Amino acid sequence: MQHRIAWRATFLFAAVHVGAVVGVAILGVSRSGIALAAGLYALRMFALTAGVHRYFAHRTFKTTRAFQFVLAVVATASAQLGVLWWASQHRLHHRHTEQEADPHSRAKGFWWAHAGWFLVHTHDETEWQQIPDFADNPELRWLDRNYFVPVLALIGALFVFGGLPAVVWGFCVSTVFLWHAMFSLNSVGHSIGQRRYDTRDHSRNNLIVALATFGEGWHNNHHFYPGSARNGFYWWEIDLSYYVLRGLAVLGLVWDLRVVPEHVRERHAEDELESAAISRA
């Protein structure tokens, strides 16, 4: 398949990177800048991982219509298009992992999986047939069409309250790190790490990616059982998004957090015992 380059997306993608590098080179490093970048990274990373991924794409918990919109707005401010577009493409990814119909198949190359797939026009449209559960929601459809509004609002607020340094650190630097952390799930998460479960894809568990993405890096776990709100299946697998969700559940903002059943989670141990028995026979 021949892909047409999405020049506007490519320009904006490059511009944010240039803004981060040149801005820091001119303004210098400051504690306040690092703190602002880290805070907006954390806030938007949680909205992406817990909100767009675990809620909109996989429905692993329940929440109110108001709080779902808050998650959607904050996640959209990460400049990764609309949440319904994101969720619909991700559902395609799970249905056709590493096959031709997978939007960001690792089989098409590391760079394609990491960022190349959205810098072309091939996957511009929201796949409405993939998300019938949200397709009739008017505020989410509006946000999906006007995904640039939260981005511009964030940039505007940063400029008004902190000037150009706040834009450089709070948007450009924070967003570059946020992008590449999330993109690494499609590239690194399908090529580097350990495989606990024998899934039909090449998904991997990677501690570094898990720390950077608040728990999403336990990617082999996730592909084995995508219906869990907890990607770190064991206590030693750090999953910050799940911990925050547990806190929000105490406050009543979310509920019915679905997790992998223990007998399903331990299936890899049963397989290892079976393999050991066969090898001894």
What pLDDT digit, counting tens, does each position of 168-194 carry? Answer: 999 999 999 999 999 999 999 999 999
* pLDDT-based confidence at residue 258 (cuts at 50, 70, 90): very high
Rounded to a whole number of angstroms, the CA Rg of the chain reads 19
| 90 closest CA partner among 103, 77, 73, 106 | 103
The pLDDT tens digits of the residues spanning 103-120 come to: 888 888 899 899 888 899
Whether 54 and 229 have beta carbons less than 8 Å apart is answered as: yes
Whether 166 and 158 have beta carbons less than 8 Å apart is answered as: yes
Average confidence (pLDDT) over 146-157: 97
Q: How far apart are CA 156 and CA 23, in angstroms?
A: 17
- Burial of 207 by CB count in 10 Å (0-12 exposed, 13-18 middle, 19+ buried)? middle
Those residues with Cβ within 8 angstroms of residue 74's Cβ, 6 or more apart along the chain or in another chain? 43, 44, 47, 51, 150
Q: How far apart are CA 64 and CA 24, in angstroms?
A: 40
Q: How many CA atoms lie within 13 A of 188 on its CB side?
A: 18
The pLDDT tens digits of the residues spanning 205-237 come to: 999 999 999 999 999 999 999 999 999 999 999
194 Ramachandran zone, left/alpha/beta (phi>0; psi -120 to 50): beta
What does the pLDDT read at residue 1? 60
What does the pLDDT read at residue 280? 45
Question: What pTM, to 2 d.p., does this model score?
Answer: 0.93
The pLDDT tens digits of the residues spanning 33-54 come to: 999 999 999 999 999 999 999 9
The pLDDT tens digits of the residues spanning 239-249 come to: 999 999 999 99
Those residues with Cβ within 8 angstroms of residue 255's Cβ, 6 or more apart along the chain or in another chain? 61, 62, 63, 249
What does the pLDDT read at residue 236? 96
Q: Tell me which of 117 and 84 has the higher pLDDT.
A: 84
Q: How far apart are CA 115 and CA 140, in angstroms?
A: 25
On average, the pLDDT of the chain sits at 93
Average confidence (pLDDT) over 50-60: 97
Average confidence (pLDDT) over 121-126: 88
Q: CB 11: neighbour CB atoms within 10 A? A: 11
Q: How far apart are CA 6 and CA 123, in angstroms?
A: 10
What does the pLDDT read at residue 108? 86
For residue 276, is pLDDT > 60? no
What does the pLDDT read at residue 10? 93
For residue 275, is pLDDT > 50? no
Q: How far apart are CA 191 and CA 212, in angstroms?
A: 17
What does the pLDDT read at residue 157? 98
Those residues with Cβ within 8 angstroms of residue 39's Cβ, 6 or more apart along the chain or in another chain? none
Whether 206 and 129 have beta carbons less than 8 Å apart is answered as: no
Which segments within 2-141 are labelled E, that is strand?
A: 62-63
Q: Supply φ then ψ for residue 235, to 5 degrees.
A: -60, -30
What does the pLDDT read at residue 277? 42
